[in-house]
Amino acid sequence: MISTDGSCHYDTYRLSERLEFKQLLCIMSYALISSTVSDLDENKRLLDEYIQRDENDWEPRIDQATLAKILSTMGALGSDNTEIDIPANGYSGISLDDLHAQAQYILWRLKQISAECLDVLQIESARDLRRPIGGLLSFIIACASVSVHVDYLPLSVHLAQNERSLSIMQHQLQMSPLFAAGLDIDELDSALNSLDLLFTEEELREL
């Protein structure tokens, strides 16, 4: 699981049980679409589109266009690094630089809770360079890095799943090339719990 110091804890989340980095991004994208798209037909269309993606399409990319799309869901966008004021959403004066720093950090943290954990260098100094923006926006940024966008900022993203919804998620995700070898429901549940801990930790940082 995630610890507050960013280290890997094998006693609570064994390396053999971890899903891969791209698989975590796919699960997050599924959760985001499920939480934000209420129209059932559109929900199914988008989930099918993302789930059937080629594995290479899950490689994250952070560029100005991606960050600009995120800002466009939050308020009017000015120049490349103009701060914007979004009191209605609880964010104030967030810039492209802030989003870029958080994107790099949150993707690094996702790798820490993935099967690639041992390949990730410790960069604790990154924590001190970031402006707190909360868990929800961090989640949106990570999904946007793999071109999964939403038209508005949701009030929440549901990572906790009941038994039925967890089973449905498992069944649908196994249609993805990322899960060609299968997906154990306990692995999925552990991954969702770890993601919930990670983004709860970000939410607890003061905005």
* Chain segment 91-118, per-residue pLDDT in tens: 667 788 888 889 999 999 999 889 877 6
Residue 81: pLDDT over 50: no
Q: Using pLDDT thresholds of 50, 70 and 90, give the confidence band for residue 140.
A: very high
The answer to whether 58 and 25 have CB atoms below 8 angstroms apart is yes
pTM (2 decimals)? Answer: 0.81
- Report how far residue 82's alpha carbon sits from residue 162's, in angstroms, rounded to the nearest whole number: 42
Query: What are the C-alpha distances in Å from 94 to residues 59, 67, 83, 130, 166?
Result: 25, 11, 5, 11, 35
Residues 6+ apart with CB under 8 A from 83: 93, 94, 95
Per-residue pLDDT, 6: 39
Place of tokens 């004066």: 93
Average pLDDT estimate for 119-137: 65
